[in-house]
Amino acid sequence: MNIAIVGATGNVGRKIIEVLEKKNFSIHNLYLLASSKSAGSKLKFNNKEIEVENLETFDFSKAKITFFSAGGKISEKYVPHAAKHSIVIDNSSYFRMDPEVPLIVPQVNSNKLKSLKKNIIANPNCSTAQLVIILKPLHDLFNIKRVVISTYQSTSGAGKKPMDELVEQTKLSLENKKINSKNFTKQIAFNAIPHIDVFVDDGYTKEEIKMINETKKILDEKIELTATCVRIPVMVSHAESLNIEFEKSFTVENIIEVLDNSEGCKVVDERKDGGYITPIEAEGKNETFISRIRKDNSKKNTLNLWCVSDNLLRGAALNAVEIAEAYLKNR
């Protein structure tokens, strides 16, 4: 099978290459695509160097499946054309809320892949992907009424330049030198910024609205959600604090058993120092880790928990490749 990756030189593009390699995905030809600026550079796949081609001149009829990981503007411009010749799995936000485009986390709603109207499949926001993989098995058993989400998102969610700036700002801060933020609204080093994406009229940010709308589309429109998204000075992995209200009663033992037996989830919850997972430990892992599971004693049928996942894998590259696997399985 022939596969193409648009945005192959970026954070997520490189991770898609890595995931395809680790999964021994059956590939005859792999086409790596990027802007004219990156065309001509080389990346390795299965110990072979592959030259990056110019996206603008690529013939998409060469690829059965094309992954797009180059941002919304590139997807807006090139995905409709690519989808005439290839199945497109798009990591940007551009097509996520299109009613004719399925928004997929395979462990949650792979049944939506059976009929594609536009040959386009959308990959959700990185924070949404790790959220719904936890909510799905709980919703099936206990009927979720409402979820309150607070995210703690790494700089890699914003791209390579913000990651580099975190390193630069950290050095400047330790040297007591002046910091001028380029990719953040305020200093990110040794700080937390309660602002991801742009503000909308009601005071939410687009990142928060994405999480709410995408979760409803993937899981259940009836679930009520609210979110606060925060950028923290971490390189990789997003963390989330969740408060989940159910219609049915539960025990903490029920929750642990359900989550530990759900695909993509792993419970690490020891009530002692260090008995939980943090972002640095989740980096490079495929699972979404769940810790700090406990009843909310202030509200009936309500649960608190903490979850962490590698946003470049579960939230992007891994989910995209698993979509491709699920699509091929459903054919």
Q: Is the dihedral of CA 141, 144, 147, 153 positive or negative?
A: positive
Band of pLDDT at residue 330, cut at 50, 70 and 90: confident
Range 2-124+316-330 classified under CATH 3.60.9.10: no
The C-alpha atoms of residue 257 and residue 259 are separated, in whole angstroms, by 6
Torsion sign (Cα): 326, 26, 47, 10:
negative
- Tell me what the mean pLDDT of segment 292-299 comes to: 98
Question: Would you state the pLDDT for residue 115?
Answer: 84
d(CA 235, CA 177): 22
In this prediction, residues 66-74 reach a mean pLDDT of 95
Name the CATH architecture for the domain at 128-311. 2-Layer Sandwich (3.30)
Integer Cα distance of 129 and 98 in angstroms: 17
Q: What is the pTM of this model?
A: 0.94
CB atoms within 10 A of CB 186: 12
| Identified catalytic residue from 126, 229, 265, 307 | 126
The whole-number average pLDDT for the span 233-238 is 98
Lowest mean pLDDT among 28-42, 223-237, 292-306: 28-42
**Contacts of the segment 286-292: beta carbons below 8 A, 24+ positions apart:** 286/310, 286/313, 286/314, 286/318, 287/314, 288/130, 288/133, 288/134, 288/264, 288/314, 290/134, 290/259, 290/265, 290/266, 291/267
168-196 pLDDT per residue, tens: 999 999 999 999 999 999 999 999 999 99
229 as an active site residue: the answer is no
The predicted structure's pLDDT at residue 331: 74
Domain extent listing, the chain: 2-124+316-330, 128-311
Rounded average pLDDT over 254-269: 97
- pLDDT tens track for 2-19: 999 999 999 899 999 999
**Dist CA 232 CA 156 (whole Å):** 10
User: What's the chain's average pLDDT?
Assistant: 96
> Which range is least confidently modeled, 104-118, 135-149, 230-244?
104-118
Percent of the chain with pLDDT over 90: 95
Question: Which whole number is the average pLDDT over 230-243?
Answer: 98
| Mean pLDDT, range 306-315, rounded to an integer | 96
Catalytic annotation, pick one of 229, 238, 265, 307: 238
238 is a catalytic site residue: yes
